[in-house]
Amino acid sequence: MRPGALPAALAVLAALAPGAGAKGGPPVTSGVYFRPGDARSILVRSTFGLLVSRDAGCSFRWVCEQAIGYGGEFAPKYAMGAGGTIFATTYTGLRVSRDGGCTWTTATDDRPAGDPGRLAGIWIDALELGPDGDVWVATADSGRPNDVYRSTDGGRTFAPRNLRSPTIWWKSVKVAPSDARRVYVTGYQVASPTLPDGGQGTPLAHLRRSDDAGARWTPSPLANVRVGASSIVYAAAVDPANPDVVLLTSPGASPPAGDRLYRSTDGGMTFREVLATSSAIADVVFHAGEVYVATPTGAFRSADGGASFEALRAPPQLRCLGSHGGQLLGCGGNWPPDSKALARASGEGAAWDKLFRFEELAGPLACGAGTTVHELCDPAWPSIQQQLGAIGSTSCAAPPEVPAPPPRKEGGGCCDGGGEPLGAAGLLLWLGLARFARQRREA
């Protein structure tokens, strides 16, 4: 290949891909979610949409970003209820699918303007399902006061939980698995109240704890917790057996590019640092009496409930972790050296076996005519399939999916989430560049 051919080809590919490079880098997986009581249902967040498995990871099908109601750099947080309802956070509200992912609507879109429980059109930044099935969300919208909300009817209606603030963006919410009334919430205050000289103070991090499902809240002093330049902390995980044990991450608090992990054994009143990383903490999870921490450049295991950690040897490039049904799953790198978009751990994280790669994607989620996925994702699939070289599962015999029937109409339209569908374009560009570079190396 002649000199200068690669840069020229890059320029051509960039010109041909509308919205190209919106996400940057290769397509990756970054989150894994489960249906309570059902080891066969798995959701995986990727940079080009949601991947859905109904057969324990044997096969996965695709839900495009625009069907859910977002685009660009945004990465939703997902949750799945025991009845199969899927929830997704977006910058225009909480999106909900009650037919397994085929059709998406905006929660509370039927509530009138000014209703204190209306979340439609508001940036939802945190999502959690309690052990009793209650749905908890937190808002972080710059254009209105923010609060934490709870739904006791599967996300159909929501009630604020007494944390309304015009200055705090609520960033995370965690409910203790052993006590549905114990809730931890963190928030970010852009600047503290005006100083006596008229200036603005520094940004502040907040942690609140409730022992009565949000009726009252106790603030934590966050003493000895170092914060990064953003002054944000996240409630990362709560011990499944002890609601007083909570783990807290502090992004950017371990310069130049790492985070710090803190542990409290008294319900968030005091914290002790237990881990400092060299790269961002992607996930923290309790699994089989142990605690695992994922970062893209390393992973860690604690055999004493998070009091101390040791590095795992040769883990994949973990961008997520999830524990369910006795299994520990993690998001790896789809291409070498990992060659696994989703991996299953064995031997206390000593080995990670491939569960899924992008080329095994079976197609868009099988949905009936009139559903959001059928209308928006099916037309986009041929291009994605070609670029991924997707041929479906090769490791097991997955039965064909039967399209879901069109759902009954609920409040709001099927596609009112907003956002430009940039993720697929960015995916096509990156895969084209990767294929071009591979051909150049082989020439």
Q: Write the pLDDT tens digit of every residue in 366-393.
A: 999 999 999 999 999 999 999 889 999 8
Instruction: Write down the pLDDT at residue 4.
Output: 36
* Contact (CB, 8 A) for 318 and 295: yes
- CA 65 – CA 69 distance, rounded (Å): 6
Question: Which tokens go with 197?
Answer: 């000289």
Cα–Cα distance for residue pair 338/164, rounded to 1 Å? 44
pLDDT at 193: 60
Residue 238 has what pLDDT?
A: 98
The secondary structure of residue 279, as a DSSP letter, is S
DSSP per position, 405-419: PPPPP-SS-TTTT--
The predicted-structure confidence for 99-121, as pLDDT tens digits, reads as follows 999 999 999 999 999 999 999 99
pLDDT of residue 14: 31
Helix axes 423-442, 5-16, angle to 10 degrees: 160
CA distance 180 to 174: 10
Alpha carbon distance, N-terminus to C-terminus of the chain: 7
Q: H helices of 301-362, where?
A: none
Looking up tokens 């299994």 gives: 327
Global confidence as pTM: 0.84
Specify whether the CB–CB gap between 87 and 124 falls below 8 A: no
Note the pLDDT tens digit of each residue in 388-433: 899 998 766 544 454 544 444 433 333 333 333 334 445 544 444 4
Alpha-helical (H) ranges within 101-228 are none
What residues in the chain have per-residue pLDDT under 50? 1-22, 398-400, 402, 404-425, 428-443
Residues in a beta bridge with 260: 250, 276
H-state helical runs in 214-371: none
Which of helix, strand or coil describes residue 146? strand
Edge-to-edge order in the sheet of strand 290-295: 283-287, 290-295, 298-302, 310-311
> How many CA atoms lie less than 13 Å away from 291 in the CB half-sphere?
26
Report the alpha-carbon distance of residue 47 to residue 44 in Å, rounded: 10
**Whether the Cβ atoms of residue 41 and residue 34 lie closer than 8 Å to each other:** yes
Q: Is 141 exposed, middle or buried (0-12, 13-18, 19+ CB in 10 A)?
A: middle
Question: Mean pLDDT for the chain?
Answer: 86
pLDDT at site 300: 98
